Amino acid sequence: MLWQGLALPLLKLIFYISLGLAFANFIESLNWTHKIALVARPLIRLGHLSSVTGASFSMAFFSGIAANTMLAEAFDQQRIDKKELVCANLFNSLPTYFLHLPTMFFISVPLIKGAALIYVAITFLAALLRTLIILVVGRFFLEEKKYTELGLAAEKRLTLRQALVKTGKRFRKRLKKIVLFTVPIYTVIFVINKAGGFDLLEAFMADHLGILSWLHPQSLGIIVLHLTAEFTAGLAVAGALLEAGTMSYREIVLALLVGNILSSPVRAVRHQLPYYAGIFSSRIAIELIVYNQCFRVGSLVAVSLVYYLFF
């Protein structure tokens, strides 16, 4: 149990964080940050964001860990301030959404058919809304950044060998912090989980769903499974109810959205906290998770409310 439940997942987590850290440091050492940021240049200029944020946004389409590591390095080196760090982390919600979209889409379509298209469309609109809000906030609250003609930094270019040496030095220094914070936090969460702490929290949330009486009665089964098990379990029940003609597409979608919203805090503690604490300082990690989840839940509530009222 300790190997399968704790040691192996922890080793995988540290490996992926380390890989993202090495990759982000290597890109920074070669001064490629500005080149990668060119993809997102129109957006970052509109939101008064820096090229580091643009590079992180582009990187988040492939690796959320690498994107956050890039932001952590820039913040530690004082190339971005805390306001931009928070905005950049929230700004990455759209590419992070696309990163998980294929898995979500191809699991949900066979089970809930057309309802999957509606659910994906609504969650996509929520991610898009978050991106637009960050652009507006950045436009008004961040200072406008100055960009060179070619978008390249003025510092001296390094050879490949020099970049590897510089990456190695930064990597070893940062890896100590990753191990120091990630291992104990992940272990504590593992112990709490095995002791039934998360089960009690999820059961408490599941037992207090009376405020959801406006939903179809069968929706509660989907929501409870979303809370106590995982997204796939809720989808399986939703698919069965849909096949039996008990619930409509609209009722299935609303149940999944409510389950998604209510399960967000538990998922944040269980999945985000261990790796965020390895990348950022403990205080910054907690702040970013709180901002991220509040922003995510708020956007989902907004678009879900529009769907409930007008469709």
Rounded to the nearest 10 degrees, the angle between the axes of helix 114-141 and helix 282-310 is 120
**84 or 242: which carries more pLDDT confidence?**
84
* 155-177 exposure pattern, b = at least 16 Cβ within 10 A, e = fewer: eeeeeeeebbebbeebbeebbeb
How confident is the model over 133-181, as pLDDT tens digits? 999 999 999 988 765 433 444 445 666 676 677 777 777 766 776 777 7
Please, what is the average pLDDT of the chain?
81
Whether the pLDDT of residue 185 is over 90: the answer is no
Q: Which of 4-13, 42-51, 166-175 has the lowest mean pLDDT?
A: 166-175
Closest to 122 (Cα-Cα) out of 306, 309, 281, 285: 306
pLDDT mean over 30-52: 77
pLDDT band at residue 272 using 50, 70 and 90 as cut-offs: confident
In whole angstroms, how large is the CA radius of gyration of the chain?
21
Q: What percent of the chain has pLDDT over 90?
A: 29
pTM above 0.85, yes or no: no
- The reported pLDDT for the residue numbered 241 is 83
Which of the four pLDDT bands, split at 50, 70 and 90, describes residue 100? confident
The beta-strand segments (E) located in 77-131 are none
pLDDT at 217: 73
